[in-house]
Structure 1
Amino acid sequence: MKSQHKCIVIFALVCCCAVLIALIFSAVDVWGDEEDGITEETCSKTCRVVLVENIPEDLSIPHKDTVSLTAGLHELLDKARRSVEIVSPWWELNSTDSESNLPQGKQGQILLRQLMSLRSRSVSLRVASGLTDSSELKALTRSGADVHYLNMTALTRGQLNSSFWVVDRKHMYLGSAGMDWRSLSTMKEFGIIIHDCSCLVMDLHRIFSLYFQLEYRDFLPSIWSKRLYGLYNRGKTQKLHLNHTEAYLSSSPDVFCPKNRAKDIEAIKSVIQEAETFIYISITDYLPMFNRSEPRYWSPIDNILREALILKESITVRVLISCGEETGPLTLNFLWSLKALCVESLRCSLEAKFFIPREQSDGRLYRINHSRFMVTDSSVYIGNSNWVGSEFVFNTGVGVVIRKCPEANNTITVVEQMKAVFERDWHSHYTKPLDPNHIPACSMHTVKEDFSV
């Protein structure tokens, strides 16, 4: 009887060990890359920040403390000595046959040729993508690029919407523009390039590494490797030797955030909560909803804006939204609802405007403003996602928060530069205010509501 009992115990222990080993190897199978000896102690904190924009030629909007997006990306490629790592929701640098004669399409073709020539300079190109049928990614693979594909439908039922570059693990680009010829010509895009900042860029490389290691997987691990943990967040920022500022990265969706990685929603909330006098928001879409079986309200960002309007003394909130056929009619409803909080109130002000685009030859509205950023009196947030529920819940995106340190005083920082960019767009003749007597043309079009991903 005792020996039988002992056998059962031993068998149970063996089974437990087998299950534990299986769980360990299945849970921590996304390890991340070696970091070439770079540590938090040895990495570079003396950084150079450049705000980059693509402004279509037919828009009479001058660059304001910014440089051309195309020039910024070419400079990054010229600097590359070892590696270039890219995540983009689109790969259409070559214009289509019907558009091949357009002069605007040439910038995309030039950039694609530069990427394909990296191997001849002994520079490795690695790409993480959710696109499995891209002819350009296949061409890059033939030219020596290492392309990994993510099955986002299986992982989150969403899409890969992140857009960023990591160069030599010490330079980075993050912004609204993807690898699309329109982003370099006909679309208005905004982003940031940070040079010689391996401390922060090492953290962005960890996000790239997470994507890269998820190739063809149909589930997410329950435990992430420490090599993928976030290095900086709201409670632990990276102080930059750049006019007394500090920064950290954020990511979405939540299931793509290992330990210590700030979530995009948390980053946006913190920037809003820390604002004292103004909150300026420039985004493509504002629609706090998502749908799986039927449309549902998605409250996190909408609630934090309402809280700011109600509780903060003399706060001014301005929202600039792109206008086009895709603009949902409910966007107007949500903006009116926010604006109503400040009616007959001296405590707050909510203003909303639409960036009105040109019309296409067939009369359709062509939405051209893809900016996705927020600036307050103390911080900036630059991200990849539209402010729509499904974007944060199911799709991937990455953001960067830069805020002024207390000792900044009257020093001109990236915060003041981005405020100037927003005000330039806000006061341009391409915007139209939210006015019940003059409803923007974008809301007059028939729009097929689709909040699903």
Structure 2
Amino acid sequence: MTSTYSSLHDNYVSNKRRSTSCVTLVVVLGCLTVLGIVLAIAVLERPPAPKDHETLPEVGCGSDICTDQCSMALVESIPQHMKFKPNATLGISLEKAWKDLLSMATNQVDVSSFYWTLTGEDINVNSSSDIPGREILKELEELPSRNVSVRVVTSVPSVRTNSTDLKILKEKGVQVRKVNFGRLTQGVLHSKFWIVDRKHVFIGSANMDWRALTQVKELGVVVYNCSSLAKDLLKIFQSYWVMGQPNSTLPQPWPAKYDTAINKHHPLQVKADNVSSRLYLTGSPPSFCPPSRTQDLEAILSIISEAQHYMDVAVMEYFPITRFDKPQRYWPVIDDAIRTAAFERRVKVRMLISCGRDSDPGMLPFLQSLASMDSPRQDISIEIKLYIVPVGNQSDIPYSRVNHNKYMVTDKVAYIGTSNWSGDYYLTTAGVGLVISQHAPHPIWETKALQGQLRAVFDRDWFSEFAVHLADLGHHPDCALSR
């Protein structure tokens, strides 16, 4: 591993070159005012389709309300030795969510992860905090012996480790494919999700890494008994799977079997526990999205433009540039949308940005620029805090003790994704997101609606001792931006 990774969990090789086949489309996104947001989206030229695409299941429910139960739960991993107040809102633990999914699997488990490091040896660390990771690896190993088919897709290029996880899994009968996103799009496969028995789904910030279970603050969502959503996510998985074949080429267009009936304009509608929900999945990069799939960037910009009262964002990294281009390019697409929302519609913006020992100090001037718009006199509200996970006596564990969350919640929707907020993640890198819009009576909203729970989690973190106002940072040994 080298210092070119600002975090083991997210950043990839910076010596990539922009493909000369990229072209730029200018898309004007309308909003409620006469002013629009001009969005530049790089779309890769797509070669002819490969011939051996496998059959995919159709998405059920059509445009009607789905009969699936589709119960949802917030999932979190809180690093060891971090304590919150006794009455604080907490999601299901990541360890429990993953183990529950593995125990209920009867037929098929498909996993997408940027990289695999489920044991301490994978990164030359001896720590008892890797025990949950070892247990997850063991349970995955045993699935084929239970006649459960397991498929794994991971990235090339990936993080440099000594990991033997995938070798062990292959020996036990797990099918593994590595997708060369470096060759296909000049990016990486950064998506993190599970699909179990084509009806249960996990999407979130956590890679298949023991540190995600005990040393890194993660957030995701698990959706149970939701075959329509699971089968739709399976189409994204399958696009990675076929591109993991030797000499694969990106199809243009993607065959109709990869199309989706679920998107921003036609969300999946479900009702459970007196909570009505509208859901859809998003994807990136553009070259992996058929026209019917809402792109990740399109969803984020739409969510920002539709917010009326507040917008809370928690991401590990925020850069209005393309970080891994040589040379880097200014990319203010999301930044402009945030400023527009705060200035034109007086949306109250709160942003919780992670700062750890390995964070890139180059992020600081961009955050300061955005925060400088904050002006109570003019009713413009953009507040930015840095979230610092205390390192304590865990300093021997590299690329840990960091807030890895990637989500947004507004007065309209909740969004849980797998990407940091910089240009590369939406132009060349594979990621997914889940957009959730819910309605429920007020008492139920606070206890059973995931949207309400996510806002409570943000408030918990925002007002915690671990969140420091940008202007109050000073010197902090656990935050690289303060050095």
Match of 1:61 among 84, 89, 112: 84
Give 1:330 deviation, angstroms: 3.4
The answer on whether the counterparts of 2:59 and 2:232 sit within 8 Å (CA) in structure 1 is no
Distance change (3 Å), C-alpha of 1:369 and 1:344:
closer
Letter in 2 for 1:91: W
Q: Percent identity?
A: 34
What letter is aligned with 1:141?
K
How many residues are aligned here? 419
Hey, what does 1:443 align to over in structure 2? 481
Identify the match of residue 295 of structure 2 among 263, 266, 269: 263
- If you compute each CA radius of gyration, which structure gives the higher value, 1 or 2? 1
State the alpha-carbon separation in 2 of the partners of residues 298 and 48 from structure 1: 37
CA contact (8 A) 1:154 1:219 kept: no
Match of 2:326 among 279, 293, 296: 293
Q: How far apart are residue 443 of structure 1 and its match? A: 1.5
Structure 2 portions without partners, runs of 5+ = 1-45
User: Is the counterpart of residue 40 in structure 1 residue 61 in structure 2?
Assistant: yes
- Post-superposition CA distance 1:270-300 (Å, at most 9, x none): 1112211110001100011115332211121
Aligned residue in 2 for 1:398: 432
2:142 paired with 1:117: yes
Query: How far has the Cα of 1:136 moved from its partner?
Result: 1.2
- The CA RMSD measured in Å over matched residues stands at 2.5
Amino acid across the alignment from 1:210: S
- Residue number among 137, 157, 163 corresponding to 2:186 in the alignment: 157
Q: Which moved more, 1:178-187 or 1:266-275?
A: 266-275
- Aligned 1:81-92 pairs, distance under 5 A: 81-92=106-117
Q: 1:210 to 1:98 in 2, by over 3 A?
A: closer
> Which residue identity is paired with 1:71?
K
Which secondary structure state, in structure 1, belongs to the residue aligned with residue 254 of structure 2? coil
- Aligned to 1:96, the other structure's residue is in SS state helix
2:3 corresponding residue in structure 1? none
Alignment match, 2:102: 77
Pick closer, same or farther for the CA change 1:352–1:337 going to 2, 3 Å: same
Which position in structure 2 is the counterpart of 1:13? none
Tell me the secondary structure at the aligned position of residue 110 of structure 1: helix
Match status 1:414 vs 2:450: yes
Unaligned runs of 5+ in 1: 1-23, 446-453
Compared with structure 1, are the counterparts of its residues 274 and 205 closer, same or farther at alpha carbon in structure 2 (3 Å cutoff)?
Answer: same
C-alpha deviations, 1:429-452, integer Å up to 9, x for none? Answer: 11111116736642244xxxxxxx
In structure 2, distance between residues paired with 1:366 and 1:110: 20
Cα distance between partner residues in 2 of 1:95 and 1:57:
16
Residues 383, 399 of structure 1: 8 Å contact kept: yes
* Partners of 2:481 and 2:133 in 1: CA distance: 32
- CA shift for structure 1 position 364: 9.2
Deviates more, 1:238-247 or 1:58-67: 58-67
- In structure 1, C-alpha distance between the alignment counterparts of 2:426 and 2:172, rounded to whole Å: 34
Shift of 1:380: 0.6
SS of match in other structure, 1:232: coil
SS at match of 1:27: coil
Q: 1:230–1:299: structure 2 CA closer, same or farther, 3 Å change rule?
A: farther
Structure 1 residues 38, 152: closer, same or farther in 2, change over 3 A?
closer
CA contact (8 A) 1:172 1:195 kept: yes
Counterparts of 2:257 and 2:167, CA distance in 1:
29
In structure 2, the partner of 1:374 is 408
Residue 221 of structure 1 deviates from its aligned partner by 1.1
From the superposition, tell whether residues 172 and 151 of structure 1 become closer, same or farther in structure 2 (CA, over 3 Å).
same
Matching of residue 355 in structure 1 with residue 384 in structure 2: no
Question: Is 1:281–2:319 an aligned residue pair?
Answer: no
Moved more, 130-139 or 219-228: 130-139
TM-score, normalised via structure 2 length: 0.81
What is the distance in 2 between the residues matched to 1:269 and 1:421?
Answer: 23
Residues 117, 427 of structure 1: alpha-carbon distance in 2 compared, 3 angstrom cutoff: same
CA contact (8 A) 2:321 2:423 kept: yes
> Matched residues in 2 for 1:365 and 1:130: separation?
19
Distance in 2 separating the partners of 1:74 and 1:431: 31
Distance in 1 separating the partners of 2:59 and 2:395: 53
Residues of 2 paired with 1:367 and 1:124: CA distance?
34
Q: Distance in 1 between matches of 2:310 and 2:298?
A: 19
Q: Provide closer, same or farther for how the CA distance between residues 365 and 231 of structure 1 changes in structure 2, counting only shifts above 3 A.
A: closer
The structural deviation recorded for 1:101 is: 4.7
What TM-score do the two structures reach when normalised by structure 1? 0.86
Assess if the C-alpha contact under 8 Å between 2:217 and 2:403 holds in 1.
yes
Instruction: Quote the residue 2:34 is aligned against.
Output: none
In the aligned structure 2, how far is the partner of 1:163 from the partner of 1:429? Answer: 29
Q: Which residue of 1 aligns with 2:207?
A: 178
Contact 1:172 1:193 in 2 (8 A): yes
**Aligned equivalent of 1:318, options 344, 350, 374:** 350
Offset at residue 304 of structure 1 (A)? 0.7
Match of 2:21 in 1: none
Opposite residue 55 of structure 2, the aligned amino acid is D
- Partner in structure 1 of residue 459 of structure 2: 423
Task: Answer yes or no: is the 8 Å Cα contact 2:48–2:250 preserved in 1.
Answer: no
